Amino acid sequence: MESRFTSFVGGPTGPWKIVSMRAVSGNGMALASHLDLRDGLTEVEDVTWQLRGVASHLRYTNEDERKVLAAIQPALNRPEARCAVLIPIRKTAAWWLLAQDERRAIIEERSRHIAIGMTYLPAVARKLFHARDLGEPFDFLTWFEFAPQHAVAFDALLVALRSSPEWDYVDREVEIRLERKC
């Protein structure tokens, strides 16, 4: 079984070349030139940074949404998906004090987070990793993969999400753009 635990390791080597890093909200991170994805949470030595996450069960997606996603979402590692973006975000303390139905209402009924993501499928593949309950500096790490010709669509996805009410609760966000050879 593939590990649910992944470390995103920034440093001098790795299969993904870091094209740009940008602090969207809050504190940034140290610049690194390459990224490696490793199974597990074990500390990797002599690297610039290591972000840990766990792929977990669905937290907000309902059954109707789950069925649609299962039918149209692509796998990672498509050969043509040479572009990737890693977006670590942290949400405010106020967010985490909300009840489940309040968070769901902000995420979907008001912000259309799930619906917006669907409109960019199958072009933009994504995988969510949870980090908050590992004691990490970010709450979530989202990994996106797409072919170069879908970079413009990906930018539109980011604009839509960042202008939504949900993003009022994001107090730290870093955008890390990557490329790999075929």
Q: Which residues bind its own copies (CB under 8 A)?
A: 4-5, 41, 54, 56-63, 65-66, 96-102, 104, 130, 132-135
Exposure b/e, 170-182, CB count within 10 A at least 16 = b? bbbbbbbbbeeee
CB of 129 to its own copies, least distance (A): 10
CB of 13 to its own copies, least distance (A): 27
CB of 163 to its own copies, least distance (A): 25
Tokens of 22: 């940008």
| C-beta closer to its own copies: residue 39 or 179 | 39
How many other C-beta atoms are found inside a 10 Å radius of the C-beta of residue 26?
Answer: 13
| C-beta closer to its own copies: residue 57 or 181 | 57
Cβ distance 141 to 59 under 8 Å? no
CB of 62 to its own copies, least distance (A): 4
Kindly list the distances between the CA atom of residue 105 and the CA atoms of 50, 143, 165, in Å, as whole numbers in the listed order: 33, 24, 10
| C-beta closer to its own copies: residue 42 or 149 | 42
87 - beta bridge partners?
A: 142
